A and B are shown apart, each in its own frame.
Chain A
Amino acid sequence: MSFDLNFIGILIGAIMASSVPLILAASGELITERSGVLNLGVEGMMIIGAISGFGLMVVTDNLFLAVIGSMLSGLIISIIFGLLTQSLLTNHVATGLALTIFGIGMSAMIGKNFVGIPGKEFPLLFVNLKENIPFLGPILFGHSIILYFAFLLPFLTNYFLKKTKIGLIIRAVGDSPTSASNQGINVILVRYSCILYGGAMCGLAGAYLSLIYTPQWIENMTGGRGWIALALVVFATWSPIKVLVGALIFGGITILQLHMQAVGLRIPVQLLSALPYIMTIIVLVVISRDSRKIKLNTPTSLGQIFYKEK
């Protein structure tokens, strides 16, 4: 019995690990969207973060530099999005799509020389506790520091948005940029900052994939996780804690699907792999059906262009 319990613990640990990139990217995008900006470039920023992190790890042999560098590169590429949507007033949807296409292309170009290089072992914390405590051990211990940060992040984000002055300003900008602007808030500056923060978090999410989760570089290795993160923000109705819940559900589906494949159930592998995407659609339908629920937390100005007459 203790073996079974331990196995469940390992399973939960695996689910947590697979939800990390979703939590990081969705929490970042949530802040961006709360300021009224819809950045569909999550997938592109993640993949740039993934290759930058992996590339820096190979070149410098320093994991700390790799992680910081991936966040910086996510931030740098999100500047393009900020420049276009905030300074040149372009359409958010189209610009985000361009960012994703550009990011996937650019990452493959940079990553050409990194294909097939094995990754480096990322230090995991409290490994001996993981092995010595049944059930709770594999759940609570033996993870990377990024995982602990990811699980803390939704709570920090929640506190930040609800209890701090800057959080209030961000929400005000997202709900009514005109009145915020009349109050003397620099709307464009706030939105730029939120876009850059979102970019850095997406970069970190990518680095988690290429440095820890599957430590290697594969073209297109984000495999739609950026889009699922975007769906998660809607699923969570823009509330950070629900992002955590949603990410765990999707992580659960991913791990479940892998285990079903391993067990050799007579269900086609492709159908199981399609499960996370189909579930995303179903969940979106269930959440969106009640338009009042959606509207409660939706930033009113989401995706709208703000222009201040000078």
Chain B
Amino acid sequence: MNVQTSLATGDPVAAVAAPEIPAVASRGYWGSVLRRLLRDPVAMAAACVILAIVLAAIFAPLIAPMDPFKGSMVRRLRHVGDATYWLGSDELGRDMLTRLLYAGRLSLFMGVLPVVIAFFVGSGLGILAGYAGGWVNTVIMRVVDVFFAFPSVLLAIALSGALGAGILNSIVSLTVVFVPQITRVAESVTVQIRNRDYVEAARVSGANPFTVVRVQVLGNVLGPVFVYATSLISVSMILASGLSFLGLGVKPPEPEWGLMLNTLRTAIYVNPVVAALPGVMIFLTSISFNLLSDGLRSAMEVRQ
């Protein structure tokens, strides 16, 4: 968000030329988007939840009451509300609260990183394809079409399954899933922008292609692509934890929400509430990212 703000506010063209965006004289486009976003209670609540989960994951070693790896077979599967184990204990007697806090680190990392990488790679490819046109466009977009022929869950699992389990392999698979999706959006926005008069004017004035892309195209394309990418984080979180749930991501005893959900499946008859807790965290994170993304979208699409 910060990068976006600084990128576009310095550029007066962005405020005037961005699609369906009214020209605001007094403040920059991203300034008014931020202002509208701040006035959206649902989006703000979602942002607070995400912030809390992220901070809890980062500061887990400071706030977690116990050791995430140390268990005790005599104190296994304690119920929620236990005097020592506030959120109960897992199938190996490890503190659930501690592990849920620690698990946020890997789960968020594995869910968010593929989208971040795909945002840069996909935007680059999409802008290249959209601006260059011709055979460059054909080659890139036909390859994208092939990857679109796979449902995303299937592609992620096929790649992870072939590469083998592991954190790095999951991140690679998910990145491959999201790059074509972002490329397609970036390409279609770039094609729209390329045909605008001011881009034509810049070209005619003799600016080289890199300058035109950097000054005229980038600021206008990255906004919509960024919003699209934020909407993918929710999917990515669910898929990343899903891969670990299948045994294709994080390996035990490392705490991760999807993996915890899997190992606790055996406990659904003994302690159903504790068994369902890791999924609550995935759900909370995923729905918060979705709501924030929706808020951002409507803050950017206000028409007057």
Instruction: Decide whether A and B are members of one complex.
Output: no
Binding site for A on B (CB under 8 A): none
